[in-house]
Every structure is written in structure tokens, then in C-alpha cells.
Chain A
């Protein structure tokens, strides 16, 4: 048909068509526009091996393949991002197309700061226990400053830093930062919305 051919032409003849219904549904449920979803679809199917591209909607891209995206390649939080957005039951952090869209939606410019802070919390929560404790904060700081031995903060500085963060943001003084405390801190930073978009 006409539309399928147009789609093939636009996608370099290598990808299948995204069902129209699904497109509308995604448009309604994500912060992405139709064009962005189609572009995401194209990029997602490029990550798949050739023989799987026909049914890109049901295929899963392994983590190693996801990490080859230029947006994630150098990001220190790449493993956390994969973990948070993956819905894989085996824990291999592979991503389906929907997970991929989810990720792009959260990182898009039009996403609300509420949802951004929610996912930021989950990305920073390294042990997935629902709170940021001292270990999480230490890992977070190490990610921010670089993992190398010479680039890390000294033990004393790290101790001082974590103590300060907890003093500032742990409102109920239970030694950890939970989601609402995190969002409270974030609300003081008006430029959190520029928290970033992963899109090209």
C-alpha cells in the first residue's frame, strides 16, 4: 500500500511499520510528539539485528546494545538508567520499545519536573530500596566526580559531604532521604527542568 511504502522509504527500507493505533496510544501516554515517536522507533529498530526488525514492537534490545547509543555511551549513570527503565523480568536490563519510549519521554523537554524528579530519584537509588542512604549518596557522588582513584573525593571530604547532604535534606532525621524529601530539595532548584533531554 501507499503508506507502507512511504514509511519504508522514509526509514531506509529496513524497518517495519509502527501500528497506527499504537502510535496514537503512545502519543497520548508519553510526552513525545508523533514525529518524535516515529524517530524513536527508527532508532530503536536500528539497534535490533536485521532479522528482528520486522517485529520491533515485541523485540527486546540487550543492554550492551542500548549502551551504544551516543546519548548513553559516556553517561556515568548509564547502568542505572537501563535498570530503572527496563521492565525485563530476568534482570538483564534489556529494553523493549515501550521501555525505550518511556526513557525518551521522561528525558524529553516537555516532561514535568515532577516526573523527572521521580525518575531521578530512582536513578540515584542505587540499591533500589526506595530511599537514598549513605551508600547511595556515596555512589552518586562518585558517579558525579568520576570513578578514577585520583578523581574521587578524599574520605574526609566524602564524609563531610554526605553528612551535609543528610543534614540539609533529611527532614525527618531517619538517616535516609526518601522520595518526598528528595522532591522537596529539588523544588528549591528552579532550573531542575533543564535536567536534560536525551534526544538528538
Chain B
């Protein structure tokens, strides 16, 4: 590139040479392509064109051709609408374009690939390496050298190259060549004609017995049956059709809410299954002797107390026995018979390990899905937009139903409109003054909302203490059970009420912002119109929920007031969490009913407006995250809480979907939601899962479990159960003292933790550096490609102008062959560098 060569283009029109050789490009596979070109062709008189490009050194800057001065400035017109048919033909025969359509070019490409593959398998001599390092040149050779340009020649070349490969490589190459089957068969015949082993290889695969065939047909019959079963699969695949329907009607942003419901459901099913198999089922099989259950009144479904208190639902029911252990009767293990079962089932260990492992796996899944969506959003060296991917990968060819096809079209259209609208709104920018006004309003709104959060938290705190006093009072006076339980419901009621009402207040706040500051109007208006998180809205709501939850967690663990008088505080906390989950569900239903159904009726009947309420994704998603946090917090205290959450999510899906279809309208202005799921998962991971994990770890490590109930009774902390188990293991079996040693030196020692985190940090740092280097190289390569592209345009334009000049100069002196068949044109671009 440092030496820009000057070219001389000498055009010699050689009409005779044209008809003799078949072109590599105008094969039968092309049949009716290039309509436009062919039409132009018939009007033009040009049949063949041979170009010779001769490079002159710098010492010959003077061009012999008269046309040199007539060249236009390159780079002005990138879309080249004015090119003549000849230029277009030359363009069409460029290697980068023929590869997309012509058989000859495909064969050439695979010839090159085979050659490269072969070189790689056998160590190449140095000069060959040099050649293969320039594959485009090789291809160019093959593509344009008239001596070898026929299809047959290329094919035989490819065959020779293929023959030198290993049989497995060869058949794979043959399989992956994008040629028609007939072509492949010819290739294969040529291959097997020249070499025996392939033939023998295939012969062996034929079933030798005549019944092999009937077996095939029996298999075919079975397959038919299998396919019928498979066609029932969409019914089994949960909510596939419902999701498509939603996506097609309401766009991907609303769809992302329902996908999120589905994701959460999967998490809960997983959690539930682990706990069910390792803890709940075994405890149910070995029920402890318990007090006679209280009568079922029905209020238990709301409060989780009473009848449910001594059931599998709560921590207190689980025992600290070792199942399957013959030594259980005797206090010391020395009297055990030798034929003891090898693996006694230690219930406390199972309990803590099930919770721990399920949390660990959930953490890995969350981080994995988060990193994947982050990776998709921030791929190294990729351009920012993803419109091209949307277009090229949009169509799902599996969709065959007419109605589904329509839905898919609808879906794609909505998505495209979303993407384009987002792009337009991004390009709008605000002035400095506008920004200043925006910031002021923002600060004001934040101050207001933070103070409301503080107010809410204080209210919850004092109210819970007050309710506790009231409850004690009732208990002392000996009021009825029913009344006592009903009092328990008041606190969850208040919290859920706050959780439901405050977001509406924040919505009002946003409305006020919108009126107050015309500057933010565009932004907030768009956000509000979509029922999407105005960026101000989401954190306020989130902060409120998380702060309230943090306060409650503190109250539970410190046991200052709440649960302080219960004999089994874990069960008490579990019950509280159960109540919160149920109350949250009820308020979501009420919100759906009033916020969507009644509001729609009011809008339609009273206000006589066509408009319908829009689905508030941000608020709904936050409610989901809140519910999931409650579930995670409660897993240790109520192992069946994930089951409750599962039921809740299932019902929620159908109720929300019905309400959406009946009451809500599709987004009036489409909005892009590609990063929505990333945001959701991140929110789920960071405040929610991390908070729950910290809460549980603290509980396991340093909170003293109840003395008289639960699997960990009598222990200092839950973590101690693992420690005592290791000691018991060491005593019972001296062969595994190494395990105790490992436990003592690696797990209990903090040095390992520091070491591992140090290594992790180093790895992360190296990765960042590698990515940075790759980015730099990618940028350089992109620049180079862009330069090459400009060079290409430059050359094309030169070529074009030379040709035009030629035609203008000597229209009479040349003899043309207008009678040439339309499909017979060919262009040869012969380089001699």
C-alpha cells in the first residue's frame, strides 16, 4: 500500500475467443439469472472483453492511453447506478461475488480449502507455505486463467486434491461442499473411479442380508409413529404458542416479561426438585412423632400457621435423626454391627447440603446466563447494531402453519419497527440548557422518592413492633386462635399494600416531572407510552422493595421483637415468609384486576376513550423479582416454599396473559427490548439473589438454631453440623483422615480463599488484556478492509471510464458481434501484476 501503482488498462476486444470456451459462470444452474443484464446485453453490441492490466513502475507515470485524463474522481458515487452493463458484468465476475452463485467458483473455493487442509496435514515446503498464505491469489489463478477455466478441469483438479486427503477428511469435504447432489455424485464417482478404498468402504455399509431392507422399513414405520408423537410435542412444550401469540401482538418487550416468568419457574422447579428428593421425601418417609395436628380451618392457606405449623412445610418439622442408621439407638458408635449400611443418611447434613448445592447451582446458572447475555451485547469487535442479524436470521423455517407464519411476520415487523424507532430516538440530542433543567427535576424527584422510601421503612418498622405488642396482648388475654392468626396477616398486608401503591405514586411523580419539564417530555413520554421503565422509575421502586426486605430480614435474624417468644423461631420466620409470598400474590391479582380490568372499563365506558391501559413491564418484573427474593430467603426455613412460588408463577402466567389479551393494548410506539432480559437477569442476580445468599450464609454461619426443634437442634450454628460430621467421619473410618485434614487446612483456612481470589483476579486481568489486544487488531483489520474496498471502487471506476472512453473513441473502427447469444457473455479480467 506504500507503493500505489499506476495502471494502464489496455482493452483488446477479442470476439473470436469468446465462443470457444464455455464460461465458468454461465452454467445451467444460473438459468434465468441476470435478467436485467441480459436485456442490456442484447441492446449492447459487446460480446466479449478482455482486459489486460499492466502494472507500470513508478518510472513510467506517463500513460500511453489517451483516456487517462478522462477518469473521474473515484469515491463520489458508491452506489454506482450509472455503470454500464460491461462494468456490471466485470463486477459480477469478481471472485467475491461469483462464489455466491456459480458452481465453478464454489469448486475453486473448495479446491483451495482442500489444498490448505492438505498442506496442514503434511508439513509443507517453505515456498508452498508462501503460496498458501495467499489463498486469494491461488483462487484468482484458478478462476481467471483461461487455460484451466473449464468446469471439468476445475473438477478434476478438486478431485486430485481430494484424493490426497485422508478418507474421513475427504468424505467430510464432500459432504460440506455446497453443490447440488448430482454434482457431488459426479465428484464422488470420479473419486472412486481413481481409487478403490472409498468404494470398498461404502460397500461395507450396505446391509448384507436381504432382511436388512425389511428392517429398514420396520424402522421407517417406527419413525413414522415417532414423528406423529413428535408432532404432539408443541403441546408438551410449555406455552410455546402462547408466547408466540404474545410476541406477535405486543412485541418483544412484553414478551420478555413472560419469558422472565418462565425462567423463574424453571429456577423454582429446579430448587423444588432438589429439596424434594433429598430432604422432603425422606422426611415424609420417616415422619417424626409429633403432636396431634390442629384442625384445618382454611385461614391457614393465608397465614401458613395453625394446621401447617407442624408439617413438611416448615423447618421445625424436620428432625436431626440419621436415617438408615442402626447405631441410632446407642449413643456411641462402637457397638455398631459390622454389617452396617455403608451410607447412613444424615438428615441435618442433607438439609444443609441440599440448600447449599441448589444455591450454588442457581448462582452458576444466573452468572452464566448473565455473562452470556452480556457477551451477546458486548462482543469483541462487533459493530453496535444488530439490525443485519435481525434481518438475516429472523426467519424461522420451522414455522409451517399459515397462522404462525402470519404471527411471525407480525412479530418481525414489530421488532423491526422497534429497532428503528429506538435508533431514531437515540439520534435526538438535548441542548445544555435542557439538560440542566432535566437534572434539576431529576434531583428533586429523587429526593422526594428517597424520603418516601425512608418513610415507608420507618412505618414498617414501628408498625411491626406495634403489631407484636398487640399480638402478645391478645395471647395474654387468651383470645381465639382465629383472631390471633388474623393479626399475623396485618404486617404482610401493609407491606404488600405499600409495594403496590408506591409504584403508582412514583408513576404520578413521573407524570408530574413530565408536565413540569417540557425538556424531558420526549424521553419520559416515550418511556411512559410503552409502559416501560423510565430510568427514574425502576430504581426507586427497587430501592423501596429491597430496603423493606432488608429491614424485615434484620428483624427476623436479630429476634429483637419478632419471633422472640416462639419456641421455634425458624418456623416462625418461615411462616412470615409464606404470608408475604401469598399476600404478594393476592395483591398482584388485585392490581391486575383494578389496574387493568377496571381501568379499561372506566376508560371505555365512562371516558369513552378508545385507549386501553398499557402493560407496565417494569413494575410487573419488579414484583416478580420481589417474590423470587422472598422464596430464596425462605428456602432454609420453609423447604416447600419453592413449590408455593411455582404454583404462584403458573397462575400468574395465565392470569396475566388473559388480562393482557383482554384489557391491554399493544404498544402504540414500538420499543426495543433486546437488553431487557439482560437487565432483568442482572437485577435478579444482584440485589435479589446476592441478598438472599448473604442472608442465608449469615444464618448458617453465625445464628444459633433453636434448641428444641429442627434438624440442627442443640448445635451452636448450622455450620457446626458439617464440622462435627467431619470429626465423626474421621473417628469412624481412619482411612479418610486425609479428608479431615483437607477440611481443616483448606476449608477452614482463609489463606486458600485469598489465594484463589488472587488467581481469579490475575486471570481476569489477563483476559482483559487479551481482549484489548484483539480489539486493536480488529480495528486495524477493519481499516485495512475499508481501504481495500475503496481501492476496489477506485479500480472499478477507472475500468468503467476506460471502457466508456474506448467506446466513444472508436465506435466505428471496431467490429462487433451483436448476434451473440445472450447467455454467452463472459468477461475476463486478466491480471499480470
Contacts and interface: CB of A to CB of B under 8 A. Distances in A.
B202 A28 contact: yes
A10 B400 contact: no
Interface of B: 28-37, 78-80, 92, 96-102, 171, 174-176, 178, 180-182, 184-185, 188, 202, 205-206, 210-214, 216-221, 223-224, 227, 230-231, 379, 382-383, 385-389, 391-402, 405-406, 409-410, 412-413, 416-417, 420, 423-424, 782, 785-786, 788-790, 792-793
Nearest to B77: A175
Contacts of A167: 383, 385
A75 interface: yes
B231 A200 contact: yes
B249 to A, nearest CB: 14
Given A131-B100, A173-B793, A185-B388, A160 B423 contact: yes
A90 to B, nearest CB: 8
A200 B221 CA distance: 14
A118 B177 CA distance: 10
A73 B227 CA distance: 20
Given A130-B98, A144-B416, A160-B420, 18 more contacts: A20-B213, A24-B206, A34-B216, A70-B400, A74-B401, A129-B33, A130-B102, A141-B416, A144-B391, A145-B412, A157-B417, A161-B416, A168-B387, A172-B785, A178-B97, A178-B100, A185-B389, A186-B392
Given A9-B217, A122-B101, A173-B793, A28 B405 contact: no
Nearest to A137: B391
Interface stretch (A44-52, A60-68, A95-103): A95-103
Contact of A165 (B30, B387, B409): B387
Contacts of A196: 395-398
B217 A146 contact: no
Contacts of B400: 70-71, 73-75
A164 interface: yes
B409 A76 contact: yes
A1 interface: yes
Please classify the interface of chain A as helix (H, G, I), strand (E, B), loop, or mixed, using the class held by over half of its residues.
Answer: helix
B217 A102 contact: no
A155 interface: no
A140 B391 contact: yes
A149 interface: no
A55 interface: no
Contacts of A169: 388
B453 to A, nearest CB: 41
19 contacts: A2-B213, A3-B212, A24-B202, A24-B205, A28-B174, A35-B220, A91-B32, A102-B180, A125-B100, A130-B97, A130-B102, A144-B394, A172-B786, A172-B792, A173-B789, A178-B100, A179-B99, A191-B393, A196-B395
Top 7 A-B residue pairs of the complex, sorted by shortest distance between their CB atoms:
A196-B397, A172-B789, A128-B33, A10-B217, A6-B214, A3-B213, A130-B97
A183 B412 CA distance: 21
B220 A28 contact: no
A87 B182 contact: yes
Contacts of A186: 389, 392-393
B278 to A, nearest CB: 35
Interface of B is mostly: helix
Given A153-B416, A164-B385, A165-B388, A118 B178 contact: yes
A24 B385 CA distance: 46
B80 A173 contact: no
Contacts of B219: 35
Interface in A95-117: 96, 98-99, 101-102, 105, 107, 112, 114-115
A148 to B, nearest CB: 9
Contact of A112 (B176, B216, B223, B385): B176
Interface residues of A, number: 98
Given A144-B391, A146-B413, A127 B33 contact: yes
A1 B212 CA distance: 13
B385 A29 contact: no
Contact of B92 (A6, A115, A129, A198): A129
Contacts of A131: 97, 100
Nearest to B175: A29
A177 to B, nearest CB: 8
Contacts of A1: 210
A134 to B, nearest CB: 8
A130 B101 contact: yes
B382 A146 contact: no
A25 B188 CA distance: 9
Interface in A68-97: 70-71, 73-77, 85, 87-91, 96
A194 to B, nearest CB: 8
A87 B36 contact: no
* Chain B CB within 10 Å, residue with most, of A91, A124, A128, A129: A129
Interface centre among A10, A85, A121, A151 (most CB of B within 10 A): A10
Contacts of A141: 391, 416
A34 B218 CA distance: 12
A172 B788 contact: yes
A34 B212 CA distance: 12
Given A29-B185, A129-B92, A171-B782, A39 B174 contact: no
B100 A121 contact: yes
B86 to A, nearest CB: 15
Nearest to B414: A145
Of B230, B395, B792, most buried by chain A (CB within 10 Å of CB) is B395
A198 B99 contact: no
Nearest to B389: A189
Contact of A179 (B31, B96, B405): B96
Interface string A1-15: 111001101110000
A134 B793 CA distance: 17
B551 to A, nearest CB: 43
A124 B102 CA distance: 15
B387 A171 contact: no
Contacts of B78: 173-175
B92 A161 contact: no
A179 B409 contact: no
Given A10-B221, A101-B181, A175-B78, A29 B188 contact: yes
